[in-house]
Amino acid sequence: MKSRGLTVAILLILLPLTAYSGEDKILYARGRHFVKTHQMDFAYMQFRDIVRQYPQSTFREDALFATGEYFVQNSNFKEATKIFEEFIKEYPTAKTKIFALAYLYKMAKEKNDADLVERIKTDIITIERLGFVFRDSKEYKYHSLFHWQYHVLLQIDKITISCNGDRLAEISY
Amino acid sequence: MPKFRINIRFWFVLILGFILTLSFVINVFFLTIKKQIAVEISEPLIHRLIIKNIFYIFPDRFLVQDLRILPKDTSIIDQSIVVPLLALKLSLRELIGKRHLIITTFVLDKMRSSQNSFSKFLSDNAVYLIALLQELPKMDITFLIKEASIDSPPEKLHLSPTTFNLAVFIKKGDFWANGAFYSGIDSSPLQLAIRGNLTSKGLYLNQGTFYKHNMYSNFWGELKGPIFQLNGYAFLNNQTLRYSNLLLDTLLRRPPRPHVTKTLEPSIDIINVDCRGRLGFPRVQIENLNFILNDFPIRIKGTAIFSTPMAFNFTASLDNAPAGPNRIKDFKQLNLNFSGLLTEKTLKGRGGLSVIFKQSKDSSFLLDKIEMNSPKTSFFYDQFKRPTLQLHGGGISILTNEDHHRLSFKTLKASFHSQTEKFKIIKLMATMYKGYLKGRFWYDVSHLPPSVIGSAVFKDVEAHALAELLIYFSKIYGKASGKINFKSHPNFQLYGFILIQNGYLKNFDFFKWIAETFNIPSLTDIRFVQAQTQFWLHPKGRGLTNIKITSKDVGLTGFLNLDKNSLIASKISLLLSRKTLQESPKFRAILTMFEEAVPSLTFDFQLSGPQKAINFLWLQSEFKQHIQNRIPNFVERMIDRKIDAILEGKIPEESESSSQ
């Protein structure tokens, strides 16, 4: 009797965890499917659910970035700013941090907030230390969940960040 | 008729006899007691009186001849106030009716004093004089000072003495005064007109007007118990208005025409004066003194103790003009504090001065604050009668957005010269970091606040001690000489050059990094023949240009600029001798690519980014191309990947360098 009770208890604990690990994957897959079928609002809902319900999920970083993109696409800059700020806070070492900063930089420039622009500019410049011996630049690419193509070109005194070929930020120093 | 004539004569002779006898008796009486009178009068005073003669003139007048007021302390010499003639008038009604000796009129004729003795008399006897003033409402008094003369103190002997006439009338509690002060350096007298009331509640000043040809000021206020309140305004114009009465004007019977003369000194407009304080001699406390000087709001607080020596402390602050032409760009506030003692010839104490700059969102201004302080400050007139400021210890701090720069000095002496009308000169001499600095600054007084330009040379200064000014100096040893040029608002600039001879660089960060990365230990200690650079600092950045280090095995040229966010922009050309490169196993391999005839190799770098994590790029050159031609592309990529790993902290630099 005692061992049966213990087994039930272990099962009760493990079952939700199993469900958890699977659910975020399903949401992720659903989200990608909605992106493929150009149902962006439904895709956003899936990614939002991953962000809200699965804080430990491996998909959460991309999903959070994607929710920010969704608000940029819908010109809801206030919400987009909030999400990208949250992204930078939660994933300070992410490779995609520079793109989140680029969005914040662009939005601060549109708001004419010179102080904020300067602060974000410094954050972008100090994101990575560069050393070029035989080459003279370095680049990264990122393909987001909404299939947006990001590109950053790091040079000794200039950083150029673009999305789908459009320039997000160009910082010279 | 004859009987009547006899009677008149008799009475005339009798009265004349009485007057003469009375005058004679009183004069003899005063002759005997004049010393006693002097002692009696001087008893409540810190000073003593000497009277040469007292004469009585019938019916109600006395003449005091040659009155001298001297300090009781006989060791103090040359501190006398001399009144050649003092005329007094009695109230006969009070004398006969109430038997009270009341003097209703004082006339001081040709009083002479030095400024020091007069101010000492007033300050030493302030308590008694105030008590005496408080008695005044009870009687009507006329007080006249005719052609009084006050000499300048010894340190200002080049100035002419001040002569003044003053008439003060007190009647039934009302008082009014008129006067004029004449100074030899200014042909126009300073005139005053004062009206007020003395009541049992206090003293009310209804009008206190001081004016001369180019100045007008008016004050009003009250003194209730120890608390005083004063309000007012003052205008000192740079335009002098004079009326010259030409012969033609007289002939044509037209009024004289005004002639305007403009001086280079700026107009001074002081408005909204609001001063509140507490008088409790010898202590006078200014609780607040607020006013607006040419659009700049000023606040002063302080305390003065009129003892010997006089002690005081004060804090003053000047805010930027809220708007208008006098507003200074990027300036926020100026603060001054001082506490010290005023002896006869010197002002001693400790003080500080700070200038705070405004950091607005759209401004690219670099500076936050400039502070100057000294624990031991003295202000005096030097042997050439020039105002001189001397500081022992202290320094100037320059605070930027991120950094703190400081220039300390052991002693600093600044003497003020005012030969020219527009530009006044400050000569500076300072000892610092085992060397000295000598300079000259010009300040333009035609504007307010005055703008300053200057230059100074320095010699034999310990270079590494300048680390508090610029951190780069912490690893540089040797005697530095150079020149600093300075320009204040509206275009703040600091620039100059520095030269260090026969010194050395010890663990200089840039060379240390190369030494550790490429295993060249000699780069941690580089002896150089000459190191020089030009430096500059202005609101949008700072930097070093024309950097040149010349040594036997290492050479460096280039520039290094920092913007307002302290981001570096730099290009550096590094020359390493074959001998130095031989130390590194990695460079030994590279050296084999070059002929023995090549004595050194030059590496050109571009540096950028934050000071704490500088980005670098090995710039393209013939030498780099030569190496690239000799190594395969995959090796180049491998080297760059390794550099990335080092910078990301994935491979420790030392292990990397040792592995090569």
Q: Express each pLDDT in B25-80 by its tens digit.
A: 888 888 888 888 888 888 888 888 888 888 888 888 889 999 888 887 766 666 78
Assess if residue A117 is contained within a domain: yes
**pLDDT value for B3:** 55
**pLDDT value for B23:** 86
B636 contacts in A (CB within 8 Å)?
133-135
Percentage of the residues of chain B whose pLDDT score is greater than 90: 22
Q: Is the pLDDT of residue B243 over 60?
A: no
**pLDDT value for B449:** 67
Amino acid at B100: H
Please give the full DSSP string across B77-109, using - where no structure is assigned. Answer: -S--EEEEEEEEEE-HHIIIII----EEEEEEE
Instruction: Give residue-wise pLDDT tens across range B536-553.
Output: 888 777 888 999 988 888
Instruction: Give residue-wise pLDDT tens across range B552-566.
Output: 888 889 998 888 777
Q: CA B474, CA B477: separation in Å to the nearest integer?
A: 8
Evaluate the omega torsion of the peptide bond into residue B59 and state whether it is cis, within 30 degrees of 0.
Answer: yes
B361 contacts in A (CB within 8 Å)?
113-115
**pLDDT value for B186:** 66
A173 contacts in B (CB within 8 Å)?
563, 567, 569, 608-609
Cα–Cα distances in angstroms (integers) from residue A162 to residues A140, A167, B473, in the given order: 11, 4, 41
Nearest partner of B551 among B532, B571, B572, judged by Cα: B532
Q: CA A31, CA B187: separation in Å to the nearest integer?
A: 94
Print the SS3 string covering B234-300.
EEECCEEEEEECCHHHHHCCCCCEEEEEECCCCCEEEEEEEEEEEEECCEEEEEEEEEEECCEEEEE
Assess if residue A90 is contained within a domain: yes
Instruction: Give residue-wise pLDDT tens across range A33-55.
Output: 999 999 999 999 999 999 999 98
**pLDDT value for A16:** 43
Question: Domain segments of chain B: what residues?
Answer: 350-564
Residue of A128, A138, A157 lying closest to B608 (CB–CB): A157
Whether residue A133 and residue B648 make contact (CB cut-off 8 A), yes or no, is no
Can you give the CATH number for the domain in which A148 is found?
A: 1.25.40.10
Residue whose tokens read 């650079």? B533
A125 contacts in B (CB within 8 Å)?
567, 609-610
**pLDDT value for A8:** 46
Q: Is the pLDDT of residue B419 over 70?
A: no
Helix extents (H) in B92-214 = 92-93, 115-124, 126-135
Assess if residue A12 is contained within a domain: no
Count the domains in chain A: 1
Angle between helices A60-73 and A40-53 in degrees, nearest 10: 140
Whole-structure pTM over 0.95, yes or no?
A: no
Q: Is the pLDDT of residue B405 over 80?
A: yes
Overall average pLDDT of the B516-540 stretch: 85
**pLDDT value for B177:** 92
What domain range is A118 assigned to? 21-172
ipTM confidence score: 0.72
Assess if residue A6 is contained within a domain: no
Task: Specify the higher pLDDT residue, B656 or B300.
Answer: B300
CA nearest to A134 within chain B: B636
Nearest partner of B427 among B398, B466, B401, B456, judged by Cα: B456
Average per-residue pLDDT for chain B: 82
**pLDDT value for A132:** 84
Please indicate if any CB of chain A lies within 8 Å of the CB of B617. Answer: yes
Whether residue A131 and residue B643 make contact (CB cut-off 8 A), yes or no, is yes
Amino acid at B83: V
Task: Specify the higher pLDDT residue, A27 or B650.
Answer: A27
**pLDDT value for B654:** 45
